[in-house]
Structure 1
Amino acid sequence: AGLAAALRESGVNVGAMKPFAAGERQASGFASADAEAIARAAGSEADGEALINPQFFPFPASPYTAAIECGMEADVAAALAAHRELASRHDAMVVEGMGGAMVPIRAGYHVADLIADMGADALLVCPRRIGCVNHAIMSAGACASRGVRMAGIIINDTGGEAYPEAVLRRDLEALTGARVLASLGRLGGAGHAAAASALRSSMDVGALLGAGRRAEDPEAPAAS
């Protein structure tokens, strides 16, 4: 949501979506709190919940698992159709992922496949903690094997046992081949406005997507 807000504040006509969401249904508003938050950050609520979050599962798990538990099927075609429609309305799209590049949506079909089918770039949000380099290497590899371009990496300090920032930046760039675009300090529960401010102060968010490009963040809770 922070990236969507930063792009909006930079004057970009940005759309937002979360193709699949799972968890507890909100009592009012969108079913998914995450989908509603990213739409508000982008200022694109008028696009409607059906396009912004084509499918919601009332079970907190990957789309694959949640669909089985709810007696449903993950509707990839609907997600891709919604993305095409939103992309036609906006100059840039931020698409929030669901936990990681290899999170399963259907058997044999993962978040990285969805990014590829959308024709999007991937923006990896990497927590600044032990184990994140392994995760980043695997995510970058999953994207590369599907022909997905890595738009870059954002380091996010989520607390806990952390790498020195300079060391992590060096290792991520050397081992994934992607550029670290920004490193954010701990924001706690400050919300997307604080994240947007931090992003705008540390990187050129308007130039991130480039003319006509789209990006998806395979991680949650961030955007694409």
Structure 2
Amino acid sequence: MRTLFLLLTSLTSFLTHAVAVSSLFEVANEEHFADFSITNNDGKDMFINLELAQVAYVNGEKIVTKVNKDNLSNWTFSVSPSQIILKDGETRTVRMRNDCAKQTCQFNEDQVYAVDVNPYPYVGEGEDSAVSVAFGYRIYFMDPASEVQLDYEIKRVNNKEFKFTNKSNTMLNAVINTCEKGFSSNCIYQYKLLAGSEKVFKLPANYVGKKNIVIRVINANESINEQVSI
């Protein structure tokens, strides 16, 4: 699906001669984990280092907190493995897990974490060191709120844009279906917005100036599915 997202474009990205990932956004299952894969098509061995951070919106401001020695004792999110050496053409699966049993698995709001995938050309013993870094990714992991507190607003800004405000305690997805015959990746648009955030989005090109636009608002597990007209 063609996706516009506040933090990322949620597309599978397999590129020729590059390190690529299977997804840029994953929702945790009932056991509080999710997987993604990393593929090395770079033409040489690569060392992959994964760095972790927690993401939240406070009064509309994005706050990113990286794991460090001061918060490590309360940190529940992990990845396995956290460092990988990938040969050319090799794919590895990484598991992201929220070990909420350390505290509680009842969340008042979404728990959102970021995994930065940092690839470097691998240098074996006795080889000259390399300082270049290949193109990296930031992957988001969301463990949804236990009970949804729904509060959002969608309104037209002008004939080209609409404003989406998410005051809920969970991520919401505004979906516009422009398909005329069946479904395809080119005619369904998603606008994902994390809890506590707000953004102005552009309408699909063929919907610019359209007087009545139907938008479906859906949460991560689709327990919320509402229709809004703007």
- Do the structures match in fold with TM over 0.5? no
Larger gyration radius, structure 1 or structure 2: 2
Structure (1/2) with the larger strand percentage = 2
| TM superposition score normalised by structure 1 | 0.27
| TM superposition score normalised by structure 2 | 0.27
Q: Greater relative contact order: 1 or 2 (C-alpha under 8 angstroms, separation 6 or more)?
A: 1
